Structure 1
Amino acid sequence: MSEDLMKLYSERILALAADIPHLGQLDAAQGRARRRSPLCGSTVTAEVVLRDGRVAEFAQDVKACALGQASAAIAGAAIPGRDRAEIEAARDALAAMLKAGGPVPAAPFDGYEALLPARDYRNRHASILLALEAAADAIAAAETAVPAAGTGS
């Protein structure tokens, strides 16, 4: 492994990858989404239950490289309690950080600072973005599945 790749797979990234929160599935998910990186085959499936438009319950199934796993760990720690706009903003900020030299996403997603070295590895960007993309898609699915307040029978 080259010295550059050794730096990329730092102890911090490997520690994150080994401790991904909210792994598994929900018994009664309102929204579910699966995202896959065609380049490397990494996949992340996210499931959510919403209360008042915010993630009340979250689960994820992660089959990804160490960078994708580290990303899922950072996202998993930050997603509960957030709404779709916050997660989409974090996803967009992460994409800008990786692809355009933008700043690290704002708290509570600032753990993505650990993935700054991945900027130089464009072939890893899609895998890193999967967790936030899947979560945003799962929330969107839940929002369309949940009747608006006051419209029930």
Structure 2
Amino acid sequence: MESLVKLVAFMLLTTLTSGPLAIALTLITDKNLLLKILRRILHGVLVMASLFFALIFSVNPEMPPAMNLIGLFAFIMAYIALRREYFPDFRIIDALLSKLGLRKNKAGKTNVEGIEGQNSKDRSSHNPSPFGPLMKWRRNGSSGGDDGHGPGGQH
């Protein structure tokens, strides 16, 4: 009976920690190819463990509702980790919020372009941003390379 308790504790600990650890691994940027491959392998193992235990906890109808919520948490964390690692430029929510006028800039004013900051009040909403569309810009500040700044993007 004691080994069953240890097994369930291991499953819960893995379910609760593998998603956030996989998200933390996405914050690391590696220049070395070998380290990048090892990080992605570890990331994949953590995401697969999170998805496996989330499936066990959320689909089983005999589980209590708290376990179903833990399974849902694991699914959400695995999804976020996968999106951050393999699809970092795909941002649907930001585009929808900016088109609806709900996205705020740093000054607290609604900004459709999202790039200019405080200078957005001088521009009309019909005038496009001089820096290009919002969807082109990445998290690290560089562009995709197809905006006239060369193959490496803006430096």
TM-score by length of 1: 0.32
Higher helix share: 2
Structure with the higher fraction of residues in strand conformation: 1
Bigger CA radius of gyration: 2
Q: State the structure with bigger RCO (CA 8 A, min sep 6), 1 or 2.
A: 1
